[in-house]
C-alpha cells in the first residue's frame, strides 16, 4: 500500500521545512494541507524567531542564556535536553532559512536586527517585515516547496483534510489492542467530499494548534486540534494538555492580536484609571512572562475594569512614523479597526494563543506509535514546559521538523536509530495515565455546536480554572456527541477531543504552574526542579510499547 516514503500533514513552518528536508534527502514526499499552503498559524505569526548568533554573542548574549530564559518561562517543567538541543542549533537553521530565500530585517549597517521580547534577557529575536515574520518565513518555504513540486520531487495536495490515521498490525506480534500496531497512512477527505487512503512509511503530523476551541483566540479558523485528536484516537500519547498560553493583547472589540514586540519597544498597559498596573505585579512589568501578563489583564477585566495598550510615548520618543515603519501590518490592521497606535489607547484582552501540549514526541519526532511523528505546535517535545517563551515556537518547529526527517528509520517498524540520544531527563517524571473516554455518556448524546463548545472552554478552560468548573466542563463534554461526516463535523469532533484532554489534565494538576492557573490552588506556585510531574494521556486500551528513548515514563 505504500505510495510515499513520508506523508506530511500540515503546511506551517514545521510541515514545509520537513517536506524540503525530506526531498533534499531523496525521499518520496507528499504534503497535505486542509486549506491552501498559506493558511496556517505560522503565516499569521507577528512575532519573530529567537536565535543566538555571532552578533548576539558579541553583545553579551549566549546559548546558555537562551536556555535559561526558556526554562524560567516554562516554570522549569521543560525537558532540559530538548531545550539545549533547540537553543544550541538555532543559528544553523537561521542560516538554512537564509539559503532558502528568507529575508530578515537588518540594521542600517546590514547586520541582522535583534529585537527584545517578554522574558528574554537579551535582544535575540529576528523579524521579517517588521511584524510579519511568519508570513516571511512561510512564503520563502512555500516558494522552495513549489520548486520541488515542479521538479517532480514533492507532491502537494491542498484542500485535503485527514480524517483518520491508518494503522496495521505487526504480523510478528501477538499482543493486545494497539500493541504491535504502526501508523501506515491516512484517510483523506477532499474538497468535494470524496475520500481516499494514502499509504506511507512514515506520517508526520504538523497540523498546528487548537485555538478555535475558544471564543477569543489569535489563531486562524483552521486551528482545530486535528493532529492531537487524530493521534490520540489512534492510540498515541498526548502530553501537557493543560498548558494553554493566552496572549495578553487581543484587540477587543476587533479580534486582532497586537504582538508583544510592541511592548518590547516600550509600549505599556494601562487600566481604566490610566495606571501602569503591571509594575506592582512583576519586576519585568509589561515584559513579564505571557501567563503573568494575561492573568493580570484578566483580573482587571474580571472586576469590571478595562485595559489599554499605550504606545504613544514610544512614538513620541522614537519620532513620527516610527511605529508605522516598525509595525506596518499591525498599524494597517489597527487603522482598519479605527485605531491609531501612535496617538490612541488600544483596548486589549487575553486570548487563546498557543498550546504547549500536544502529541508526545522524543527529540527526533517519534511518538508512542511506530510510524507516527509530529512537529511544530501539534507536537509536545517538552521544550516549552508550562509556558512558551516568546518567539520560540517558530524555532522549535524548524529544529524538530529537521531532526525528525534526518532521523527517520529505514525500518517502518523502528524508531529513530540513534544510539547516542541523550539520557532521560532525570529531573522530570512523565506519568503515563489513561485519557478520558470520548464516547458520550448518555446514548447518542446531543449534537455539539461549535459556539457552545467555545463558550464552555472560555468559561471553564481559560485563563483561570477551578475543580468545580473543570468537572462541569467534562460532564457537559460527555453529554455531547458530534454527528456528520463533512469537514466541519470532523473539526468539531477534534475540538471536543482536545477539550476533554485539556479538562482532564487540568483537573489532575491541582497546583497552579505556568499557564495553568487554578483559583482553588492559587498559592501552589511553580514547582522547584523535579518536584512536579508531567502527564501523558492515552486512549483507554492503548497499551503500545513506549518508544520514547529520551523520556522516562512510569
List the catalytic residues: 290
Distance CA 399, CA 411 (A): 23
Q: How far is CA 53 from CA 100, 141, 216, in A?
A: 18, 21, 36
Distance of CA 381 to the CA centre of its chain: 11
Which three-class secondary structure string do you get for 504-553? HHHHHCCCCECCECECCCCCCCCCCCCCCCEEEEECCCCCCCCCCCCCCE
Pairing of strands 154-157, 29-32: parallel
Q: How far is CA 294 from CA 44, 64, 78, 269, 301, in A?
A: 20, 27, 21, 11, 11
Residue 5, helix vs strand vs coil: strand
The Cβ of residue 278 has, within 10 Å, a number of other Cβ atoms equal to 24
Q: How far is CA 547 from CA 84, 147, 167, 408, 490, in A?
A: 21, 36, 17, 14, 29
CB 188 within 8 A of CB 197: yes
Distance CA 22, CA 5 (A): 9
Residue 22, helix vs strand vs coil: helix
Per-residue exposure over 483-503, b if at least 16 CB sit within 10 Å of its own CB, e if not: eeeebeebbbbbbbbbbbbbb
Amino acid at each position: 500500500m505504500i505510495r510515499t516514503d513520508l506523508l506530511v500533514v500540515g503546511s506551517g513552518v514545521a510541515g514545509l521545512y520537513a517536506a524540503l528536508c525530506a526531498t533534499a534527502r531523496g525521499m518520496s514526499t507528499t504534503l497535505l494541507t486542509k486549506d491552501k499552503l498559506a493558511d496556517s498559524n505560522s503565516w499569521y505569526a507577528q512575532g519573530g524567531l529567537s536565535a543566538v548568533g555571532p552578533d548576539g554573542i558579541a553583545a553579551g548574549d549566549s546559548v546558555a542564556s537562551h536556555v535559561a530564559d526558556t526554562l524560567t518561562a516554562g516554570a522549569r517543567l521543560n525537558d532540559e535536553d530538548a531545550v539545549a538541543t533547540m537553543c544550541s542549533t538555532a543559528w544553523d537553521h537561521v542560516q538554512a532559512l537564509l539559503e532558502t530565500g528568507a529575508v530578515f530585517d537588518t540594521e542600517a549597517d546590514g547586520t541582522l536586527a535583534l529585537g527584545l521580547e517578554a522574558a528574554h534577557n537579551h535582544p535575540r529575536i529576528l523579524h521579517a517585515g517588521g511584524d510579519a515574520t511568519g508570513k516571511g518565513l512561510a512564503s520563502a518555504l512555500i516558494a522552495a516547496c513549489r520548486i520541488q513540486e515542479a521538479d517532480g520531487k514533492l507532491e502537494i495536495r491542498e484542500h485535503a483534510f485527514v480524517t483518520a490515521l491508518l494503522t496495521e498490525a505487526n504480523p510478528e506480534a501477538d499482543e493486545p489492542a494497539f500493541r504491535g500496531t504502526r501508523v501506515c497512512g491516512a484517510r483523506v477527505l477532499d474538497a468535494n467530499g470524496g475520500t481516499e487512503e494514502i499509504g506511507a512509511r512514515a506520517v508526520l503530523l504538523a497540523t498546528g494548534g487548537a485555538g478555535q476551541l475558544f471564543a477569543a483566540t489569535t489563531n486562524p479558523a483552521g486551528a482545530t486540534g486535528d493532529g492531537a485528536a487524530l493521534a490520540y484516537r489512534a492510540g498515541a500519547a498526548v502530553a501537557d494538555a493543560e498548558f494553554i498560553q493566552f496572549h495578553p493583547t487581543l484587540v477587543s472589540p476587533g479580534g486582532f492580536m497586537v504582538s508583544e514586540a510592541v511592548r518590547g519597544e516600550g509600549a505599556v498597559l494601562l487600566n481604566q484609571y490610566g495606571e501602569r498596573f503591571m509594575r506592582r505585579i512583576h519586576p519585568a512589568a509589561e515584559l513579564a512572562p505571557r501567563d503573568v501578563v494575561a492573568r493580570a489583564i484578566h483580573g482587571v477585566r474580571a472586576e469590571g475594569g478595562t485595559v489599554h495598550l499605550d504606545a504613544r510615548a514610544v512614538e513620541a520618543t522614537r519620532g513620527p512614523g516610527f511605529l508605522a515603519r516598525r509595525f506596518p501590518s499591525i498599524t494597517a490592521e489597527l487603522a482598519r479597526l479605527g485605531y491609531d497606535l501612535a496617538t490612541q489607547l488600544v483596548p486589549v484582552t487575553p486570548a487563546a494563543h498557543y498550546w504547549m501540549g500536544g502529541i508526545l514526541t522524543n527529540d527526533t519526532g517519534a511518538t508512542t506509535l511506530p510510524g507516527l511523528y509530529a512537529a511544530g505546535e501539534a507536537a509536545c517535545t517538552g521544550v516549552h514546559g508550562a509556558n512558551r517563551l516568546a518567539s520560540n515556537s517558530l524555532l522549535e518547529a524548524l529544529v524538530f521538523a529537521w531532526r525528525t526527517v534526518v532521523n527517520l528509520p529505514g525500518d517502518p517498524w523502528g524508531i529513530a536509530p540513534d544510539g547516542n540520544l541523550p539520557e532521560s531527563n532525570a529531573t522530570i517524571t512523565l506519568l503515563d495515565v489513561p485519557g478520558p473516554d470520548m464516547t458520550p455518556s448518555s446514548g447518542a448524546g446531543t449534537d455539539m455546536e461549535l459556539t457552545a463548545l467555545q463558550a464552555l472552554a472560555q468559561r471553564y478552560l481559560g485563563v483561570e480554572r477551578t475543580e468545580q468548573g473543570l468537572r462541569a466542563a467534562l460532564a457537559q463534554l460527555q453529554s455531547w456527541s458530534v454527528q456528520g461526516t463533512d469537514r466541519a463535523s470532523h473539526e468539531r469532533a477534534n475540538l471536543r477531543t482536545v477539550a476533554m484532554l485539556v479538562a482532564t489534565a487540568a483537573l489532575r494538576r491541582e497546583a497552579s504552574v505556568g499557564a495553568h492557573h487554578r483559583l482553588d490552588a492559587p498559592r501552589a506556585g511553580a514547582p522547584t526542579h523535579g518536584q512536579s510531574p508531567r502527564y501523558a494521556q492515552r486512549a483507554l486500551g492503548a497499551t503500545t510499547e513506549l518508544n520514547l528513548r529520551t523520556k522516562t515514563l512510569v
